[in-house]
């Protein structure tokens, strides 16, 4: 039992030391200006020296001026005190300014690193970190670290300096008085240490609780229609209330610890003042101290205790800062599944995409999603992929721009394995329209310019015409400057798909990938869109993932997937005759008359 207790204590100590190391690691890698940090430390030092010099001047005025009735000395020293106070104030302002600038720069640089690193994470990597958790880490956690760093410079660095120098100055005046101040400081440290040990695990739980609340609220807001449709509002409210209550209870526990600490701290400060005045009066009465020295020592003690108190309040945030640093470094130290290669695509004008024995499996999956895919897509051709639900169609689409990484085999683009090419260069050649169309908040023009930032109105109109979006855009009062809410929720599913396709057309890529991107379109619009696309994809590769046979029947080659395997390859007519899986799909989608006509045309 004792062994297990020691083991748990050792583990907790290791976690705390690791947390401190992580905070320092983040600070070191934030690329802060060394000369600004140096200036800040200089101004803090000068501010502290000025603060501690004022009690010395006060004691001198009383001992040498008031007691000796030397008014010239009082006036001269008073002018010096005024000058020191003004300079101390100036140094304090400068220290606060540079402290705020350094803390803000730190948060900016870390947030930039975090954002850039998340951009390197793959589709599977995002399953390791939830969206709500990443948002909390990029906002709340970094803000917490920023606040802690600012307070660290303003209170925690000055505190030991003031205590050491203050104790030395007090000892010079009277050793017994310095001992009283030292005992008070030790009591402060004990109280603070006890609170820190109690509060550290609570802060860690509050961060996890905040992640949970963000996730539940975000999920509720994004799925509010489904919640209402299934009459789940009451149950969802109960679930949210439970998470809110848990979070509130954690904060209540933290506030209780603060409530216990504050009276103890104030009691210690009051007792130290009483002790200094009591013993100081006895020392003065015995002739071992001057009355001005009592005033100086009281001011030394108050300065030391006030800075210790501020440092305590700042240090209370250290456990939370450690948790935040751990959470941020958990993301920054996470190695992305997909990494950049160093080769570059050749400058061929034509394009050729080839799947060579490609397989794919999700992490910890019992069976592969795709197995041994082999096919070639030539420039100017359309390759369609069809299959039942769960056959791996969308996975093929995600493998082309390396949103997912193939587990085996090679995907060759213009003679280069895509794994050897930087992701940015690869994706510059690919236009991808996902299964779920997504639009960014802004205007229609802003969204279209994601494909071509320097596009003119004429370019946008041309792309919208091809995507069959021009008609409904022109019906809007502000046309291309019409507002788009996040996700494009103010447009229908078909309109979102057409705008997403127009955005991709603006890019003019070498490879067009449509991941079931025509599913929300009616047959007439679907057919018109496919006819228009033929004109702009004459020199490009087009890969179409679809569930409707009518969307792909004119493709140059159709790949039929079943449970991740190719069970058919050929044209529409060839597959109707030779592939039973394709024939069953056609049979389920076409009427008997349509199917007979298709077979008769062969």
Question: CA dist 315 to 10, 147, 155, Å?
Answer: 22, 11, 9
Residue 465 burial (C-beta neighbours within 10 Å; 0-12, 13-18, 19+): middle
Sign of CA dihedral 433, 439, 443, 446: negative
**Cα distance between residue 293 and residue 172, in whole Å:** 10
Output the DSSP codes for 449-480: TTT-TT--HHHHHHHHHHTT-HHHHHHSTTGG
59 Cβ contact partners less than 8 Å away, ≥ 6 residues apart: 173, 290, 292, 293, 295, 296
pLDDT of residue 293: 83
pLDDT value at position 596? Answer: 66
Give the residue carrying structure tokens 């199917």: 595
CB 467 within 8 A of CB 487: no
Nearest 5°: the CA angle 26, 32, 34 is: 125
pLDDT at 599: 60
Burial of 595 (0-12, 13-18, 19+ CB in 10 A): middle
Mean pLDDT split into 10-residue runs, the chain, 602 residues: 43 51 73 86 91 86 77 85 92 91 89 86 75 82 87 85 88 85 82 74 76 78 74 79 85 82 78 83 80 84 83 75 83 81 72 89 80 88 86 88 87 87 86 86 88 85 88 87 85 87 89 85 82 84 87 87 87 84 82 64 58
Instruction: Give the pLDDT score at 140.
Output: 84
Helix, strand, coil share of the chain (percent; to 5): 65, 10, 25
Distance CA 56, CA 51 (A): 10
Residue 110 φ/ψ, nearest 5 degrees:
-70, -40
The residue with tokens 């996890």 is 208
Q: What count of residues does the chain have?
A: 602
**Contact (Cβ atoms closer than 8 angstroms) between residue 384 and residue 558:** yes
Pairing of strands 557-562, 382-387: parallel
Give the Cα separation of 320 and 201 in Å (integer): 9
- DSSP assignments along 52-119, one per residue: HHHHHHHHHIIIIIITTT-HHHHHHHHHHHHHHHHHHHHHHHHHHHHHHHHHHHHHHHHHHHHHHHHH
Q: How far is Cα 375 from Cα 353, in angstroms, rounded to an integer? A: 9
Q: Which helix (H) or strand (E) holds 431?
A: strand 430-433
How many other C-beta atoms lie within 10 A of the C-beta of residue 497? 29
Tokens of 92: 């304090």
Distance CA 59, CA 43 (A): 25
Check residue 602 and give its pLDDT: 55
Instruction: Count other C-beta atoms under 10 Å from residue 196's C-beta.
Output: 17
CB of 446 within 8 A of CB of 365? no
The whole-angstrom separation of Cα 207 and Cα 140 is 9
Q: Which residue in 334, 422, 329 sits closest to 127, CA to CA? A: 334
Chain-centroid distance of CA 20 in Å reads 21
What is the Cα 489 distance to its own chain's centre? Answer: 24
Which structural domains are found in the chain, ordered by start? 19-332 (1.20.1560.10), 348-429+509-572 (3.40.50.300), 437-506 (3.40.50.300)
Is the dihedral angle over the CA atoms 284, 288, 289, 291 positive or is it negative?
positive
Rounded to whole angstroms, how far apart are CA atoms 324 and 72? 57
């Amino acid at each position: 039992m004792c062994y297990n207790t020691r083991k748990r204590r050792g583990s907790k100590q290791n976690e705390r030391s690791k947390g401190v190391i992580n905070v320092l690691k983040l600070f070191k890698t934030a690329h802060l200006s060394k000369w600004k940090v140096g200036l800040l430390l200089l101004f803090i030092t000068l501010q502290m020296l000025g603060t501690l010099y004022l009690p010395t001047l006060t004691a001198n005025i009383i001992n040498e001026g008031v007691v000796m009735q030397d008014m010239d000395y009082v006036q001269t020293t008073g002018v010096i005190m005024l000058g020191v106070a003004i300079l101390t104030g100036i140094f304090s302002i400068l220290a606060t300014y540079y402290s705020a600038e350094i803390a803000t720069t730190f948060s900016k640089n870390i947030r930039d690193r975090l954002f850039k690193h998340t951009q390197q994470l793959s589709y599977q990597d995002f399953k390791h970190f939830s969206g709500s958790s990443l948002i909390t880490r990029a906002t709340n956690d970094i803000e917490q670290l920023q606040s802690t760093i600012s307070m660290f410079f303003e209170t925690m660095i000055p505190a030991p300096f003031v205590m050491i120098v203050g104790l030395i100055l007090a000892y010079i005046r009277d050793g017994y008085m310095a001992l009283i101040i030292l005992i008070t400081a030790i009591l402060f440290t004990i109280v603070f240490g006890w609170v820190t040990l109690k509060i550290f695990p609570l802060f860690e739980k509050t961060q996890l609780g905040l992640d949970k609340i963000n996730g539940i609220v975000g999920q509720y807001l994004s799925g509010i229609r489904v919640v209402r449709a299934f009459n789940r509002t009451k149950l969802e409210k109960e679930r949210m209330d439970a998470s809110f209550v848990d979070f509130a209870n954690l904060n209540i526990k933290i506030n209780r610890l603060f409530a216990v600490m504050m009276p103890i701290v104030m009691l210690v400060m009051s007792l130290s003042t009483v002790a200094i005045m009591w013993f100081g009066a006895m020392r003065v009465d015995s002739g071992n101290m001057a009355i001005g020295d009592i005033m100086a020592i009281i001011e030394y003690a108050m300065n030391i205790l006030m800075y210790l108190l501020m440092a305590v309040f700042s240090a209370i945030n250290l456990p939370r800062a450690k948790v935040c640093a751990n959470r941020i470094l958990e993301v920054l130290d996470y190695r992305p599944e997909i990494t950049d290669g160093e080769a570059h695509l050749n400058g061929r004008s034509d394009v050729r995409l080839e799947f060579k024995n490609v397989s794919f499996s999700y992490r910890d999956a019992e069976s592969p999603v795709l197995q041994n895919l082999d096919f070639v897509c030539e420039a100017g051709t359309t390759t369609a992929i069809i299959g039942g639900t769960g056959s791996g169609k969308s996975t093929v689409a995600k493998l082309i721009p390396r949103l997912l990484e193939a587990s085996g085999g090679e995907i060759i683009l213009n003679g280069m394995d895509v794994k050897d090419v930087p992701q940015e260069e690869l994706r510059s050649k690919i236009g991808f329209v996902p299964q779920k169309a997504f639009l960014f908040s802004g205007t229609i023009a802003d969204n279209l310019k994601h494909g071509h930032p320097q596009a003119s109105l004429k370019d946008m109109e041309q792309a919208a015409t091809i995507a069959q979006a021009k008609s409904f855009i022109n019906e809007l009062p502000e046309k291309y400057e019409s507002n788009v809410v996040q996700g494009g929720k103010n447009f229908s599913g078909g309109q979102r798909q057409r705008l997403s396709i127009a955005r991709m057309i603006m890019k003019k890529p070498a490879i067009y990938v449509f991941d079931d991107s025509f599913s929300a379109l009616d047959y007439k619009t679907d057919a018109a869109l496919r006819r228009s696309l033929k004109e702009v994809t004459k020199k490009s590769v087009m890969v179409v993932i679809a569930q409707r046979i009518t969307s792909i029947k004119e493709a140059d080659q159709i790949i039929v997937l079943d449970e991740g395997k190719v069970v058919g390859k050929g044209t529409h007519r060839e597959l109707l005759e030779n592939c039973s899986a394709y024939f069953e799909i056609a049979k389920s989608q076409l009427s008997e008359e349509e199917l007979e006509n298709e077979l008769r045309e062969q």
